[in-house]
Amino acid sequence: MSTNRQILALAGDGIGPEVMREGIKVLRWLDSHKIASLDIVDGVVGGAAFDKHGVPLAEETLDQARRSDAILLGAVGGPKWENLPYHLRPERGLLELRKKLDLFANLRPAMMFDPLVDSSTLKPEVIRGVDMMIVRELTGGVYFGEPRGITRNPDGSRTGVNTHRYHDVEIIRVGRVAFELARKRRNNVVSVDKSNVMEAGLLWREEIQKLHDADFPDVELSHMYADNCAMQLVRKPRQFDVIVTDNLFGDVLSDCAAMCCGSLGMLPSASLGPELGEGRRLALYEPIHGSAPDIAGQERANPVACILSAAMMLRHSLDMEHAAALIERSVAKVLADGIRTADIAESPENSATTADMGAAIIKELDRQYRK
């Protein structure tokens, strides 16, 4: 059993506290069964942080994150804070956390659980067997490029500016993560860009190709334009193993890939930072769904993405493959048994609550543990 691993839990806003509650229950189950010894510390980010500290990310939370072995996050944002100045909105807290911790590689797996084939709007024969990983560059591109802002022109009109900017080193390091992941999967990478109309996209394609040729010639590499990739994700998603792309396209395409899995509530993610030595790499784990303020507090949220994010945390940050696989098997069995929250249920009126789903997964963990 690994001991004394420090986990920072940031529940955030909206449905974040509800799904985090179930994720923490799973982690505490591991601790109680001496599979992992985890010290879990609570913190605030996003709107919750603004309410407490007046900013969406306080320095004390950032310091906690730096001292942690990993960070587990619920969700941020909601209408309560939508009229705040841009720099104080909840989403800025998450973006700043990613930027200041240099969490540059976002891993978004999209895998279709067989029992959920009918939950997608896509045809079963199209999505059955889908298993891909989207690797999104997370700290560069149009979300962080300068100059940016809204200015008023002499004639009274206004102009909004965002800059799409990439340096070669940013492209190379996220490309390396993608190629290394592909070697552990099916050895295929598709790099997605818009090199036909964007100079930053051309640089992206050239640097990914150079990295491949120099260090990863054993991995199959192809290039695809972002608009074509969006079409291919709903046309023939099984063709993809690992997709690597920039910040903006990764944001859009990973949500598109969610429909290959039935619901955003099913998809976890990991945001990896640089290696810190001694096998340590700081990372943040979160479900890719938003804060869903329309259902917050109603016990309708699907906690599976948060629970699977915890499994990714165990695998990628804590080197606990056995524990991660145990959680994933338990989730798969619960789904096979027909237990569903409203987003994936055939009959929403008979669906499980957030707590029901969490309890079912804990019960299955007990069964798997006794086997």
* Residues identified as active-site: 143, 194, 227, 251, 255
Residues 6+ apart with CB under 8 A from 174: 104, 105, 135, 136, 137, 138, 244
Cβ-contact 267, 258 below 8 angstroms = yes
Cβ–Cβ contacts within 10 Å for residue 176, how many? Answer: 16
Report the chain's terminal Cα–Cα distance, integer Å: 19
Contact (CB, 8 A) for 128 and 162: no
222 strand-pairing partners: 190
Q: Whole-angstrom Cα distance, residue 336 to residue 17?
A: 26
Give residue for tokens 């079912």.
360
Kindly state the tokens that stand for 186. Answer: 């099916």
Shortest CA distance to 12 belongs to which of 305, 313, 290?
Answer: 290
Question: What is the C-alpha to C-alpha distance for residues 39 and 41, in angstroms, rounded to an integer?
Answer: 7
Handedness of CA 169, 94, 180, 37 (dihedral sign): positive
- Say if residues 37 and 2 touch (Cβ distance below 8 Å): yes
Distance, CA of 241 to CA of 149 (rounded, Å)? 37
**Cβ contacts of residue 190 below 8 Å, gap of 6+?**
221, 222, 223, 224, 229, 240, 241, 242, 243, 244
Preceding peptide of 217 cis, ω within 30°: no
The two three-digit tokens of residue 1, written as one number:
């059993």
Is 282 in contact with 276 (CB distance < 8 Å)?
Answer: yes
Residue in the block written with tokens 């923490």: 24
CB 224 within 8 A of CB 190: yes
